[in-house]
Structure 1
């Protein structure tokens, strides 16, 4: 229960709130500078959040209209699964590469790609604390939570993973 205590302390200390895709978050930065996107939309140049998954939490399949850079901060490694335009799956393991073989400190998810994330089970700590930086800046109006049936129709080879990490089923 030490890990639960640490996760609870971090949620309170960082003032994290439940996120619609799963886990907990808090926006920590929103650029005062605006940029005009190629489609004409105006956005903050960049935004950043703290993001935490604990226990069996997962980040459900979703996509946003901007690139998102994930940064590992603390806890157990986390796998970020990205469905590519050619129907394949790319998985980035975020963690401390000195302690977790094959892990990296940061990974990027391209704009408009479907992705999800889940903790790598570990006996030591039951949380993963990350940061996410989005450029141009994140807006909830550009957040889309996936429907599992629609994703499976487009990515049938990934059906098991899609169903396991989905919240919306038709």
Structure 2
């Protein structure tokens, strides 16, 4: 299997606009989260419980009880970048509704993952005096995002 660089996975965000997701035809609405972003990590979390019963062999099993998909980003803050402007503008917002946006991930194989997300733990500025300003935080999908396989989009690797 061929290895692929992380930079082939693209992340885009768009304003939430009351819950109306932009279409791919609205490509100018989707802002690339890319310039000056050096790391984007999948920090998804899974919650499990353990249980065993008399139908089994006496050993406990781990049972998945929940999953939350989160993507953390870090880089340097560029207040002129439209994607960074959108996120940084939420920094002092205090309600879930004010932190909502759309997040689209285009995987390296051309598959897409898209859904409503919350921008959390936003840092837009700050850091060492001799360094460029920090830009960090994470985008947490709200519910299960929609996944479209590359074969369904006409794209592919």
Between structure 1 and structure 2, the one with the greater Rg is 2
Same fold (TM over 0.5): no
What is the TM-score with the length of structure 1 in the denominator? Answer: 0.28
